[in-house]
Amino acid sequence: MFAKDRIAPLFYILPLIVFFMAVMVYPFVDMMIHGLFPSQEMIEVSGASEVAARTLGWRDLTFGNYIAVFTDPFYRSSLVLSLVLSAVVSALSIALCIGPAWLLVRRDFPGKRAFRAILTIPMAFSGIIIGFLAVIMIGRIGFIPQLTRWLVGVPVGEALAYSLTGLGIAYIWFQIPRATLTLESAIRKFDWDLDSAARSLGASNWQALRYVLLPLLTPAIVSTVAVTFAVSMGSFGVALLLLKKASVFPLEIYNQIYANLAFEMAGAMSVVLGVITVGINYALRKYAERYYAHVVARG
Amino acid sequence: MNDGTAGSTPMPVIATKSRRPFSAWTAYSAAVSLILIFAVVTPVLICLWGSFTTLSTMGAASTLSGAGWETQKSLGIYASGARETTGPFTLLWYAYVFEVYGHTIGLSFKLAATSILVTIVLGVFGGYGLVRYDFPGKALLEEIISIPLSLPGISIAVALLGTYGIIRDSWTIILFGHLLYTLPFMLQSVTSTLRSYNFFELERAAASLGANWFQRLRYILLPNLRHAIIIGSLLVFTISLGEFNASFLLTTPINLTLPASLYDTYTNDSFQVSSAATSVFMLVVIPVLMAIQFMGGKEMKEVGQAA
Amino acid sequence: MNVKQNFLRLTGIAVVAGAMVAVGSSSAWSWDAAEFQKRIEAGKKTEGTTLIQYDAQPNYANWGGVTHFFRQKYGVRVPPDMKGSGPTLAALLREQNTTVADVAYYNALVGLEAGEKGVHQAYKPAGWEKIPEWCKDPNGMWFCVHQGVIGFIVNTDALKKANVPVPKCWKDIVDPKYKGLVAYDDPTVHGTAMEAIFAANLGAGGSTKDFKPGIEYLKQLDKNVLRYSRDTSYNPTLRGEIGIWLHADGSGYKMKWEDKGPIEVVIPCEGTVSVPLAMGLVKWAKRPQLAKAYLDWLLSPEAQGIWADSYWLPILTEFMSPQAKERMKPLHGTYDLIKSVSIAEKRSMIGDYRNAWRDQIRRQ
């Protein structure tokens, strides 16, 4: 083999390690620690003097910010809203896109390549653009309400964009390419012989679906959920433009920085958001892998 | 895969086309697909139309007075209705977008280009090291590398602001955010190519014939990675240009990226101007996206961070 | 209204030129355009051609027009910035000496706070003596540049669709028939919105010492509120997404006469307050020469004249052209409804009032 085999990996890997340490790991840990400092509000409540006049020491460290994320109804409700919204959007995206994904794998039709290409368009856009497009389509004077008013006299979906439903629709729109492509590549890996074998043994459509297709499909669905859930949790731009009364968690973080001085609180919230999102994503991915290895690969 | 190491995935079975007749499921799928196509294409078309039109639509006047734009003729404070001057279509909105937000386009391109260069260097070397060697902590490193794919942009923006606040007024702080989100894709692109064929035997053969490190790099590694690097670069370009969540908090009025400036137009300018600004973005990014698609980029589905 | 037609015939230069002629002979301090030009050129050589102002929203007080004029004439670009009063102060406090801002613009209440918190440096621009006493800091930490008045900006089309009449008073808009039509910006963030809730308090019978009636009123109003915007609601109101926007009148007049929207500006019958707006020189400004020149320019006949023509009352009213005066007279003339409240009085109450709003209305 090559000489210097021990040092060689380090030579190639070191820049990577340095990069991720400097840009991700260290700032994140730094933020975690800063989240332990009391925010201005906490100081005012506890009656201590102004932050500006006093330097905070080790004695002041507290988990107060982190606890507040989960106990203060204001923050907790936005966290719960983010979680619920992300879960619902993931489920609906998959339900919506499994049909087209199946079509892409199992049927040939003219314009198939263009069809797939068109479906990937939403992926190019960042959140605020999607918010803008949502306002165009289902805002108070959006295209769809105007069209339906012209056609049938009743404006359908007027101002829908500003409600939670509209936000969810915008999220789903954004997930269309991701869900479709992930499902497509998973379906493509199917061993259809298993399906034919089951049927030749007399299984009905329903049984084939339940005992063959669904287990085959589960890892695909779970890993798609992993991605769509994480993206929805982190989604900020769409909510920034559309949500005016309710609030999702990333938006609250933004409010803390933008309007208040509560940088520590924002940091604590960012840590919580990061840990929850990455954690759930990791867990789902690992589950999908193990499911695949244990259930699917064994046939 | 060819070396039969443990843990390789089973050879995929090529899915046979369904021989069943046109079923209800197919009809349903086709209907859903048509709806999706409509849902995807319509907003884009309306946006493009809005960028040229002088019609007073979407409730907002079509004048450019939303930002104090003057006509060339006078230093009057507000423009008169564009419709009176130029007919049903106009390029005024684009002209305005370029005048007021032109520098944001420049910055976004600069960020994207720099990201491409840095990720190529880090990605090629890092990817090579990851595939070629085993070392303690490799699994952990691979997990760390994949974290940005799910890490919310705003979290990392807050973290970067806290740690690198000193360079807040420099565009490099935005670059950090962009690099974090683009590097995993370049790495994926490179490593999946390196893993997929007998690259290292080529390299070994060359080494036994006397090629030194630099020659191996130049004549074996890079040419074979060309496709991966191209696709990776297009991906990095797309992601960097569209990055908003992290960039938004990191931008300042001096360093404004294109997506962040779009936010300004949505809240301040008329529908026409907003559409023009958005169309500029779309017209740059969508062709790149199509190029990636047609070049067979399988990594597209994981572009995680743009919402 | 003939006023509108009169205005449309005028160009900015004619207005400004007229004002300069009217003024040049009467005031002790006269604006020397040539001298100023030299100052700007000198500044540009050492400090570049960009100046950063925190809170320079194009549609608010026509900063778009003002900055565009400045750029066309003097070659210095002041890019738009969407921060409101609150975020501007928060940003300066957070960024300190890493800030990119050179000057800051806020509601005078927040400007006062900013001066106290030490993010400004003292600077008395040319024309300082002519600024009324109540609208500047004696030490030069901040000074007003123009003012507006709180009113209802009503989109008559939206109201027609909802089949409700145009409201005339504060007590009108709490009526359930206006549900979903009302909006005001987040008062923990936007200075103008702070003035709006202050005016609502006075309209509901409160005083400068007691904001309980105001909170009760706003709680009632909350049922009708569509949203509390973080960013400006200018476009949504113009488009009809918002029916009644509680904001400064100047924006409404611009919507009505320049953007030709179906807009009416209503001054509530129980009374209202004025909205003074102030500028300060940022303590850590990286382009102090340009910044000082810019601040001087904002008190010049040119800038003040632009504001007068943009339907905002300039702080140096002598720079209003006769035409602008004519136009503003019926508008501001009927404003005996403006309750006279000093900035200090407002300030003493607004902090707690804001927090009460946040705790009782926004957080439920």
- Which tens digits make up the pLDDT trace of B17-29? 555 556 788 888 8
- pLDDT band for position A172 (cuts 50, 70, 90): very high
In the stretch 182-221 of chain B, residues with CB closer than 8 A to chain A read 183, 207
Within a 10 A sphere around the Cβ of A237, how many other Cβ atoms? 31
Interchain proximity A258–C87, CB inside 8 Å: yes
pLDDT, tens digit (0-9, with 9 covering 90-100), for C178-209:
988 899 988 887 889 989 998 899 888 888 88
Interchain proximity C363–A74, CB inside 8 Å: yes
Q: What percent of chain B has pLDDT over 90?
A: 25
Write the CB contacts of A7 (distance below 8 Å, at least 6 apart in sequence): none
Q: Any chain C CB within 8 A of the CB of B78?
A: yes
Count how many domains chain C has: 2
Query: In this predicted complex, what is the ipTM?
Result: 0.84
Q: What is the pTM of this model?
A: 0.81
Q: Which of C153, C336, C164, C131 is nearest to C236 (CA)?
A: C153
Domain range for B211 is 101-306
Domain contains C10? no
- pLDDT band for position C347 (cuts 50, 70, 90): confident
Distances in Å between the alpha carbon of C104 and those of B206, C100, C111, C284, C290? 65, 11, 8, 11, 14
Domain contains B260? yes
* Residues of C whose CB is below 8 A from A258: 83, 87, 90, 189, 230
Partner residue facing C86 (CB), from A141, A159, A259 = A259
Q: What is the pLDDT of residue C335?
A: 55
Beta bridge partners of C263: C155
Domain contains C38? yes
pLDDT, tens digit (0-9, with 9 covering 90-100), for B143-184:
999 899 889 999 999 999 888 888 887 899 999 999 999 999
> Which residues of chain A are at the C interface, by a Cβ-Cβ cutoff of 8 Å?
52, 73-74, 139-141, 159, 162, 240, 244-245, 255, 257-261, 263
Name the 3-class secondary structure at C279: strand
Average pLDDT, chain A: 81
Q: What is the pLDDT of residue A217?
A: 79
Beta bridge partners of C247: C151
Q: Are A271 and A35 in contact (CB under 8 A)?
A: yes
Note whether C171 and C225 are same-domain residues.
yes
Note whether C213 and C335 are same-domain residues.
yes
Identify which has the larger pLDDT, A185 or A234.
A234
Domain contains C299? yes
In the predicted structure, residue B301 carries a pLDDT above the cut 60: no
Interchain proximity B153–A234, CB inside 8 Å: yes
pLDDT, tens digit (0-9, with 9 covering 90-100), for A182-228:
888 777 777 666 667 777 776 666 666 677 777 777 888 888 898 89
Write the CB contacts of A165 (distance below 8 Å, at least 6 apart in sequence): none
In the stretch 40-69 of chain C, residues with CB closer than 8 A to chain B read 50, 52-54, 57-59, 62-69
Interchain proximity B266–A227, CB inside 8 Å: no
Domain contains B48? no
Q: Are C321 and C182 in contact (CB under 8 A)?
A: no
Domain contains C13? no
Domain contains B42? no
Q: Are B82 and B63 in contact (CB under 8 A)?
A: yes
* Residues of A whose CB is below 8 A from B33: 99-100, 103, 115
CATH number for the domain including B149?
1.10.3720.10
Mind listing the domains of chain A with CATH numbers?
65-130+162-298 (1.10.3720.10)
Tell me which range, A182-186, B13-17, B289-293, C168-172, is most confidently predicted by mean pLDDT.
C168-172
In the predicted structure, residue B42 carries a pLDDT above the cut 80: yes
Give the tokens for residue C186.
Answer: 């987040």
In the stretch 129-188 of chain B, residues with CB closer than 8 A to chain A read 129-130, 132-133, 135, 141, 143-145, 147-156, 158-164, 176, 179-180, 183
Identify which has the larger pLDDT, A142 or B249.
B249
Identify which has the larger pLDDT, B258 or A182.
B258
Q: What is the pLDDT of residue A203?
A: 64
Partner residue facing C227 (CB), from A73, A139, A244 = A244
Note whether C102 and C205 are same-domain residues.
no
Q: What is the pLDDT of residue A49?
A: 40
Count how many domains chain B has: 1
Interchain proximity B253–C79, CB inside 8 Å: yes
Q: What percent of chain C has pLDDT over 70?
A: 88
Q: Picking from A50-59, A64-73, B218-227, C57-66, which range would have the lowest pLDDT averaged per residue?
A: A50-59
Domain contains B51? no
Domain contains C57? yes
Domain contains C115? yes
Average pLDDT, chain C: 82
Residue type present at position B89? F
Note whether C351 and C213 are same-domain residues.
yes
Domain range for C50 is 33-147+276-319
pLDDT, tens digit (0-9, with 9 covering 90-100), for A81-129:
999 999 999 999 999 998 888 888 888 888 888 888 888 888 888 889 9
In the predicted structure, residue C142 carries a pLDDT above the cut 90: yes
Handedness of CA A134, A135, A139, A141 (dihedral sign): negative
- pLDDT band for position C283 (cuts 50, 70, 90): very high
pLDDT, tens digit (0-9, with 9 covering 90-100), for A30-80:
999 888 887 665 554 444 444 444 455 656 667 778 888 888 888 888 999
Q: Any chain B CB within 8 A of the CB of A86?
A: no
CA of residue A265 relative to chain centroid, distance? 22
CATH number for the domain including C266?
3.40.190.10
pLDDT, tens digit (0-9, with 9 covering 90-100), for B95-112:
878 877 888 999 999 999
Domain contains C5? no
Domain contains C11? no
Distances in Å between the alpha carbon of C79 and those of B100, B254, B301, C72, C259? 8, 8, 37, 13, 22
The arithmetic mean of pLDDT across residues A234-251, rounded, is 86
> Which DSSP string do the residues of B28-77 spell out, in sequence order?
HHHHHHHHHHHHHHHHHHHHHHHTTB-S--TTS-SSGGGGTPPPSS---S
Note whether C135 and C240 are same-domain residues.
no
Note whether C200 and C342 are same-domain residues.
yes
Q: What is the pLDDT of residue B4?
A: 43
Q: Which helix (H) or strand (E) is C332 found in, with range?
A: helix C322-333
pLDDT, tens digit (0-9, with 9 covering 90-100), for A123-153:
888 889 999 999 888 877 778 887 888 888 8
Average pLDDT, chain B: 77
Identify which has the larger pLDDT, A281 or B291.
A281
Identify which has the larger pLDDT, C269 or A2.
C269
d(CA B36, CA A177): 10
Interchain proximity A230–B26, CB inside 8 Å: no
Domain contains B10? no
